[in-house]
Structure 1
Amino acid sequence: MSDTVEGPFFHGTKADLQVGDLLTAGFRSNYRPEIVMNHVYFTALRDGAGLAAELAPGDAAPRVYVVEPTGAFEDDPNVTDRKFPGNPTRSYRSREPLRVVGEVLDWTRLTPEALQGWRDRLAALRAEDRDEIIN
């Protein structure tokens, strides 16, 4: 898959990163902290990375970085198979690190109301997951 997709690619986070830093798998999910991630996630949509940055936990400023995969990657099946067949969100994942090559400063920020709406949707999804596990 990675042979047919071209960037640039972006990663949103609240981490303060530098050019040359590597983003690796093996850390807790921003959205479901009980899960340790086997992949690093990224997108070819600058504002999609901005949304991920805004939703990441913590009080630090959200940031969007330009990244380059260091190995193979695939469509993110959590998005493409379940919600958006064909990957119109241009969401990807890799088991290999992503290298930070720059920072984007002109991405579109969410309004406080829109951000709260996204947080409410994520909370509802987490509640549904807990209900499924209990049943």
Structure 2
Amino acid sequence: MFEKTDVLDHGPFYHGTKAELQIGDLLTAGFHSNYRPEVVMNHIYFTALVNGAGLAAALAQGDGRERVYIVEPTGSFENDPNVTDKKFPGNPTRSYRSRSPLKIVGEVVNWERQTPEELQKWRERLANIKGEIVN
């Protein structure tokens, strides 16, 4: 796994979800993927792009409201291979993952939200993705 100095960003970082959490809570791996529910994820994912986290919140499972949390990694992390290197050159989505928890340090209330039509296109795109999730 890469150390923090080997990645493009040093923060701030964001995680999008529909879960209602509090400052100080820890986000951990071990939950089902939002995109392939049969897969239990070995990592927790985050991004340096607040709007990217907002999109993830909109696509997340659940009925809660979309939330974007400001998070701090508690351990080492790496570029997300599901959207970088193995599938796209570099890290255009500035997405990362860690086996260590992410600590919630704040919440963002304003970000660019997708239209219902844009979200539908994303859902269709995700449903048609071929290949495995690199877990």
* TM-score (norm: length of structure 2): 0.89
Match of 1:116 in 2: 120
Counterpart of 2:5 (choices 3, 6, 9) is 3
- CA shift for structure 1 position 57: 1.4
Give the counterpart letter for 1:2 in structure 2.
Answer: K
Indicate the structure (1 or 2) with the bigger Cα radius of gyration.
1
Task: For residue 122 of structure 2, give the secondary structure of its aligned residue in structure 1.
Answer: helix
Map 1:1-135 onto structure 2 (within 5 A): 1-4=3-6, 5-125=9-129, 128=130
Give the counterpart letter for 2:15 in structure 1.
Answer: H
- Between 96-105 and 83-92, the greater mean CA deviation after superposition: 83-92
Structure 1 distance, partners of 2:44, 2:125, is 22
* TM-score (norm: length of structure 1): 0.89
| Unaligned stretches of 5+ residues in structure 1 | 131-135
Structure 2 distance, partners of 1:46, 1:64, is 7
Match of 1:133 in 2: none
Task: For residue 75 of structure 2, give the secondary structure of its aligned residue in structure 1.
Answer: coil
Give the counterpart letter for 1:97 in structure 2.
Answer: P
Structure 2 distance, partners of 1:89, 1:83, is 12
**Which structure has more helix as a fraction of its residues?**
1
Identity %: 70
Runs of 4+ in 1 over 6 A off after TM superposition: none
Let me know the Cα RMSD of the aligned residues. 1.4
Structure 2 distance, partners of 1:94, 1:104, is 21
Instruction: Give the number of aligned pairs.
Output: 128
- CA shift for structure 1 position 71: 0.3
Structure 2 distance, partners of 1:76, 1:90, is 8
| Unaligned stretches of 5+ residues in structure 2 | none
- CA shift for structure 1 position 129: 5.1
- CA shift for structure 1 position 30: 1.1
